[in-house]
């Protein structure tokens, strides 16, 4: 335990300019400034929002709105609670869902009344929307704030309300969300996007003939959810045809959160012409201004097909402002293309499992036991 505490203690951090800060106050200021930049409203451009949403057609019908806006019932509150994992980490209230599940006969009436007061009347005690943020290390060598993964812990009452709203939305997501989006939609698999990306990359890397070259641009959106402007979200909901009552409920959930820092999505786009590339870059800039998204150029790359003319790659890469690479590394943590050497492609998975096994205590598994388990898994 002491070794783990010693390893994860933050003694210094670097800022964006590379300066090292060792004083406790300076480290705290650096971390707080980073999260203020992430969670603070980016004040999206209203004109850019209107331009982005000009072609968005209403998809929420009157029947859908009637279902979304009907009064919530105590049964829905209890159903949302029972769907939660009993031992989820507690938030500022210090409670886990198991307390409410086991003692519902005692606290159920008051809890349901509190949740329904928010869902049906829009009245919520601000303290119930307080959120703890805990920083978990991503790697062994912690040098910058970006080397930490922020995990949020909410109050159980707020979780129940959010879950009840999500249950209302779940049956309608397939009709509202476009077919190209697979995550969080019942009946769709994120791995389908992986297969599409794999096939397109295979075509790109094996296209040796023809006069028209192709490029593949992988864009990384920095903290995609955290940078979404609430004005943009509200305009999207309204544009989709959502009822004003439901829009107000959603906005109350997301925009009234108060974050407390506790002390210790790739997008792939394909283009074929320079004019289309310039237009697409302008579209992405408009999207940034409208939504608050920030493109992470440092993690974005561009790949050109084999038959692309020699002078074209450097010219187009300069227009985009992203580096060129021979092939994409990974997409959704999976290899973007499988070449002849399967061992080279999948060695990273084996190494990752081995590093995980090395962290295990010898009391839990012997050296021989580790080897047997790795062989049985792989």
pLDDT digits (tens, 9 = 90+) for 277-336: 555 666 667 767 676 666 776 677 777 777 777 777 777 777 777 777 766 666 556 666
At 245-283, the pLDDT tens digits run 999 999 888 776 665 555 433 333 333 444 445 556 666
**pLDDT average, residue stretch 59-80:** 95
Q: Indicate the pLDDT class of residue 109, thresholds 50, 70 and 90.
A: very high
pLDDT for 78 equals 96
Strands 301-304 and 267-271 turn out to be unpaired
Q: Flag whether pLDDT at 370 surpasses 70.
A: no
Q: Flag whether pLDDT at 217 surpasses 90.
A: no
Q: Indicate the pLDDT class of residue 160, thresholds 50, 70 and 90.
A: very high
Contact by Cβ (8 Å): 323, 302 = yes
At 161-190, the pLDDT tens digits run 999 999 999 999 888 888 878 877 888 887
Query: Among 67-76, 121-130, 256-265, 364-373, which stretch is predicted with the lowest mean pLDDT?
Result: 256-265
Residue ranges per structural domain of the chain: 2-338, 341-378
Q: Number of C-alpha atoms within 13 angstroms, CB side, residue 286?
A: 14
Contact by Cβ (8 Å): 228, 255 = no
Q: Flag whether pLDDT at 225 surpasses 70.
A: no
Q: Flag whether pLDDT at 378 surpasses 80.
A: no
**pLDDT average, residue stretch 6-24:** 80
Q: Flag whether pLDDT at 48 surpasses 60.
A: yes
Which range of 211-225, 322-336, 364-378 scores highest in mean pLDDT? It is: 211-225
Percentage of the chain exceeding pLDDT 90: 22
Quote the strand ranges of the chain, DSSP E: 13-14, 20-21, 130-137, 148-154, 215-219, 258-261, 267-271, 301-304, 330-331, 334-335
Q: Indicate the pLDDT class of residue 75, thresholds 50, 70 and 90.
A: very high
List of long-range contacts for 139-144, beta carbons under 8 Å, 24+ apart? 140/7, 142/8, 142/10, 142/13, 143/13, 143/14, 144/13, 144/14
**pLDDT average, residue stretch 48-69:** 90
Query: Among 74-83, 143-152, 199-208, which stretch is predicted with the lowest mean pLDDT?
Result: 199-208
What is this structure's pTM?
A: 0.72
């Amino acid at each position: 335990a002491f070794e783990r505490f010693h390893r994860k203690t933050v003694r210094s951090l670097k800022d964006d300019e590379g300066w090292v800060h060792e004083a406790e106050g300076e480290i705290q200021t650096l971390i707080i400034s980073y999260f203020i930049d992430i969670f603070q409203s980016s004040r999206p451009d209203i004109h850019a929002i209107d331009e982005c949403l000009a072609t968005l057609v209403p998809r929420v019908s009157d029947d859908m709105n009637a279902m979304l806006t009907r009064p919530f019932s105590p049964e829905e509150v209890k159903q949302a609670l029972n769907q939660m994992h009993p031992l989820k980490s507690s938030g500022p209230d210090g409670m886990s869902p198991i307390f409410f599940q086991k003692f519902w006969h005692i606290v159920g009436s008051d809890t349901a009344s509190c949740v329904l007061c928010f869902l049906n009347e829009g009245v919520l005690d601000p303290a119930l929307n307080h959120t703890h943020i805990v920083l978990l290390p991503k790697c062994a060598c912690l040098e910058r704030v970006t080397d930490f993964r922020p995990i949020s812990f909410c109050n159980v009452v707020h979780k129940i309300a959010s879950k009840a709203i999500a249950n209302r939305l779940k049956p309608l997501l397939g009709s509202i969300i476009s077919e190209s989006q697979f995550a969080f939609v019942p009946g769709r698999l994120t791995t389908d996007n992986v297969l599409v990306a794999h096939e397109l990359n295979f075509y790109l890397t094996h296209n040796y003939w023809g006069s028209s070259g192709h490029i593949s641009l992988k864009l990384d959106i920095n903290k995609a959810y955290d940078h979404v402007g609430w004005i943009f979200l509200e305009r999207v909901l309204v544009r989709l045809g959502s009822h004003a009552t439901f829009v107000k409920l959603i906005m109350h959930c997301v925009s009234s959160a108060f974050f407390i820092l506790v002390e210790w999505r790739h997008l792939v786009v394909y283009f074929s012409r320079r004019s289309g590339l310039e237009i697409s870059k302008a579209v992405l800039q408009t999207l940034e201004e409208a939504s608050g998204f920030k493109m992470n150029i440092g993690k974005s790359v561009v790949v050109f097909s084999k038959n692309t003319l020699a002078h074209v790659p450097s010219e187009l890469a300069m227009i985009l402002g992203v580096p060129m690479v021979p092939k994409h590394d990974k997409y959704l943590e999976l290899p973007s293309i499988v070449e002849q050497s399967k061992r080279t492609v999948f060695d990273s998975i084996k190494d990752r499992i081995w590093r995980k096994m090395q962290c295990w205590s010898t009391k839990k598994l012997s050296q021989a036991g580790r080897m047997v388990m790795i062989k049985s898994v792989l």
